[in-house]
């Protein structure tokens, strides 16, 4: 019996699919805002990010084009990193034909698998990318317990 293999089509395989998805997402956000403005459902967006692990640190790159460094807050505690802030909407001079970029408040959260050295976390913003270098803790409070 011959078995046929089919490649599963993904959203990225269809031309324009991501744009259609983004349009639908923004339409749904506007609809929620109109129906339940007190809930603030679409007020916060999550920026895209990459997380890389090295032997001694985690490197987190978060895309924040158009965000000034004064509008970014980075908090670390134990194994948790929270980046929040706001991207201001730019003033429009013409008719807006399509919107796919998010603006307003943003929030990015990650729980790392290892304890981190909170005192030596570094953050820099370059060309719209926030780069965090989060060193792993050099010592954990582990100790051997003798069984009696």
- Which letter, b or e, does each residue of 100-116 get, where b requires 16 or more Cβ atoms within 10 Å of its Cβ? eebeeebebebebeeeb
Write the pLDDT tens digit of every residue in 68-93. Answer: 999 999 999 889 999 999 988 777 78
Whether the Cβ atoms of residue 83 and residue 62 lie closer than 8 Å to each other: yes
- pTM score, whole prediction: 0.65
pLDDT score, position 102: 76
> Residues with Cβ < 8 Å from 79, sequence gap 6 or more?
111, 112, 113, 114, 115, 116
Instruction: Using alpha carbons, select from 43, 22, 51 the residue that is nearest to residue 110.
Output: 51
Write the pLDDT tens digit of every residue in 94-135. Answer: 877 777 777 788 899 999 998 999 999 999 999 999 999 999
Radius of gyration of the chain (CA): 21
Instruction: Using alpha carbons, select from 130, 95, 127 the residue that is nearest to residue 110.
Output: 130
């Amino acid at each position: 019996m011959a078995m046929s293999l089919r490649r599963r089509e993904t959203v990225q395989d269809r031309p324009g699919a991501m744009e259609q998805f983004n349009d639908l997402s923004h339409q749904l956000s506007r609809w929620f805002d109109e129906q339940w403005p007190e809930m603030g459902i679409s007020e916060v967006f999550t920026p895209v990010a990459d997380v890389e692990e090295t032997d001694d640190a985690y490197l987190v790159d978060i895309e924040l084009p158009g965000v000034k460094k004064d509008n970014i807050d980075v908090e670390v505690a134990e194994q948790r990193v929270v980046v929040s802030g706001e991207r201001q909407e730019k003033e429009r001079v013409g008719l807006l034909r399509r919107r796919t970029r998010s603006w307003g408040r943003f929030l990015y959260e990650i729980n790392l698998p290892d304890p981190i050295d909170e005192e030596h976390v570094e953050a820099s913003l370059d060309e719209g990318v926030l780069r965090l270098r989060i060193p792993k803790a050099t010592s954990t409070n582990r100790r051997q317990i003798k069984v009696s």
